[in-house]
């Protein structure tokens, strides 16, 4: 955890070819076990055997990781370590259970980010208008945590979306429901939005896992998101372009400048973007400036210059988000001058919603 604190402070699907995504329509009844915190018998469902949203590469032996095993030794050590954090992973399911419980490998906090965001769970429920609304939060203990997340007094079947921790290496996640309750998972719909970026993309410093802007946009757009945010390690290396190119994405969002120096921008930026366009021609790409323009004048200028040249060359489906739009509004929207609070993430989601909708509509 001390390492992750250091990383966060450093500013900032679908399956790959040959892989198969597991998306069961339903899940068989598991053994009923006693839940000491609830004082009742529960049926525990192992999330490792369910379909997890937000995974670009399905590997049954590694259910809670964000990169394929073959990436070890190819990506930087830092990216590899952070790929075991479960940022963006989520479980979507239907149940008529009167209560939703969870049991998961716990964790702690950072000195500028709440434990509920670093290591907690965040549960949402779809309402009668089809909107995702907050249903409950899993507040972690240092070790394995077992909690009631939400109640459903009506007993009607409801749809839920459970976001996993942003900065924790999850090794256990189970969902607890009544033994006779229904449980099913809808088949995935549409191609995912792929975010690649820094600690900000990963979710630092949201107070709950569902309050990172990528998770907010997942709910607003009702579109699966693959979060490839790597704290302090988004440097647009060529290997990352190859990995992103394996994903059958609806849109790519590239937000790496807070982790890049002027030298890295000159070395990697244009090569990365052009290679991704070669691998996925015609797939929309959204280029995002540094959210603090005053800290990155030359980097933002280089990004805009590349965008302008690509447009002039006739490159299709390119979109651009100016850094000055990302945190626009009254009051300071960060926890430390760079990493957004929930307020900051809300503003970022608002700034990115329009270009994302335009990119998705144009397909």
Written as one string, the DSSP assignment of 72-83 is: TTTS-HHHHHHT
Question: What confidence tier does 362 reach under pLDDT thresholds 50, 70, 90?
Answer: confident
Rounded Cα distance, 214 and 311, in Å? 26
193-361: CATH topology? Rossmann fold (3.40.50)
- pLDDT score of 24 more than 70: no
Rounded Cα distance, 216 and 300, in Å? 25
CA 111 to chain centre: 22
Tens digits of residue pLDDT in 32-42: 444 444 446 99
Alpha-helical runs (H) found in 85-154: 115-118
**CATH architecture of the domain with range 13-184:** Sandwich (2.60)
Tens digits of residue pLDDT in 316-328: 999 999 999 999 9
Give the Cβ contact number of residue 250 at 10 Å: 21
Mean pLDDT of 58-71: 94
Tens digits of residue pLDDT in 133-192: 999 999 999 999 999 999 987 889 999 999 999 999 999 999 999 999 999 999 988 999
- pLDDT score of 289 more than 70: yes
Torsion of CA 342, 344, 348, 353, to 10 degrees: 50
Question: What confidence tier does 3 reach under pLDDT thresholds 50, 70, 90?
Answer: very low
What region, left, alpha or beta, does residue 121 occupy, with left being phi > 0 and alpha being psi -120 to 50 degrees? beta
Domain residue extents for the chain: 13-184, 193-361
Tokens found for residue 171: 């090794």
- pLDDT score of 1 more than 60: no
Question: What's residue 239's pLDDT?
Answer: 98
Cis peptide upstream of residue 205 (ω within 30 degrees of 0): yes
Mean pLDDT of 67-93: 98
CB 285 within 8 A of CB 227: no
Rounded Cα distance, 41 and 29, in Å? 13
Burial class (CB in 10 A: 0-12, 13-18, 19+), 141: middle
Q: Out of 60-64, 97-101, 247-251, which region has the weakest mean confidence (pLDDT)?
A: 60-64
Question: What's residue 20's pLDDT?
Answer: 25
pTM for the predicted model, two decimal places: 0.89
Helix axes 342-361, 213-221, angle to 10 degrees: 40
Which residues, other chains included, contact 135 with Cβ-Cβ below 8 Å and sequence gap of 6+?
100, 123, 124, 125, 149, 150, 160
């Amino acid at each position: 955890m001390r390492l992750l604190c250091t990383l966060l402070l450093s500013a900032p699907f679908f399956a790959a070819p040959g892989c198969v995504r597991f998306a069961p329509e339903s899940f068989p009844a598991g053994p009923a076990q006693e839940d000491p915190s609830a004082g009742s018998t529960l049926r525990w469902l192992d999330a490792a055997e369910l379909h997890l949203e937000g995974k670009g590469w399905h590997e049954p032996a590694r259910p809670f990781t964000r990169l394929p095993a073959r990436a070890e030794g190819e990506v930087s050590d830092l990216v590899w370590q952070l790929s075991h954090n479960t940022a963006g992973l989520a479980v979507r399911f239907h149940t008529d259970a009167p209560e939703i419980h969870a049991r998961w490998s716990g964790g702690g906090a950072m000195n500028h980010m709440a434990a509920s965001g670093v290591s907690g769970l965040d549960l949402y429920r779809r309402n009668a208008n089809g909107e995702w609304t907050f249903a409950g939060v899993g507040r972690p203990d240092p070790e394995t945590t077992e909690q009631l997340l939400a109640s459903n007094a009506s007993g009607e079947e409801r749809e839920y979306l459970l976001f996993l921790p942003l900065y924790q290496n999850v090794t256990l996640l189970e969902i607890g429901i009544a033994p006779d309750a229904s449980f099913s998972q809808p088949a995935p719909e549409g191609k995912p939005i792929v975010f690649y970026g820094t600690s900000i993309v990963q979710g630092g410093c949201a107070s709950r896992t569902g309050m990172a802007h990528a998770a907010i946009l997942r709910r607003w757009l009702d579109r699966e998101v693959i979060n490839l945010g790597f704290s302090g390690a988004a440097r647009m290396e060529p290997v990352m372009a190859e990995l992103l190119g394996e994903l059958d994405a609806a849109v790519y969002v590239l937000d790496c400048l807070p982790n890049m120096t002027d030298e890295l921008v000159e070395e990697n930026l244009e090569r990365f973007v052009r290679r991704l366009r070669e691998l996925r021609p015609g797939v929309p790409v959204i280029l995002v400036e540094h959210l603090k323009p005053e800290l990155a004048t030359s980097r933002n200028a280089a990004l805009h210059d590349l965008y302008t040249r690509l447009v002039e060359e006739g490159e299709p489906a390119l979109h651009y988000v100016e850094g000055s739009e990302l945190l626009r509004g009254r009051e300071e929207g960060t926890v430390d001058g760079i990493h957004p609070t929930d307020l900051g993430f809300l503003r970022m989601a608002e700034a990115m919603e329009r270009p994302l909708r335009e990119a998705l509509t144009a397909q």
